Structure 1
């Protein structure tokens, strides 16, 4: 079961990372205005998700990749808070925007399983 969870996690992060390159405007829209270089940060976070997701698949890099994902999840948390509090994302139900915040903790816990 743990290998299924590991492969699922790797797939989720690689797919999410690739999506940064396919739909960068979507990710730039959720960037808090106080952060600089939105496009560059979206591309950097996409690369990080792909590299760290792949890194989970190899025992030699699994722990480092899991810690990297934890740090990445913490780094992107302000974007999730911005989505929930800015009032700009009216097409997404408010409850879903707020539910996403504790989901971040669950994702951190999931990554921590591989540290």
Structure 2
């Protein structure tokens, strides 16, 4: 799906020069950046999806799924054995995207006070 955005000139990928195992994907429909994803190493064989953001007005169009798919493919090509991400229990629509991409909820953290609210952290993982 990301290829469609790239062919329309709406997506860019930047691979880190230092080791080639990190990547940023940006989508810029209508001339403004509305989506960004950073894939960063958590351990030598585990990629970490560090940030995924889709603006509210663009949700439901499949771009989140395209970004997650691009991150998974990048992690596979870079030789990682697994990819993981941290999110919160409140992000239910994102959970559906992760589950469809093959991620499994592996850890639920006890509630903590973060970001001015009570947060229930979750770790999702996918073997590559």
TM-score, normalisation: structure 2: 0.26
Q: Which has the higher contact order (CA 8 A, sep 6+)?
A: 1
Q: Where is the strand percentage greater, Structure 1 or Structure 2?
A: 2
TM-score by length of 1: 0.28
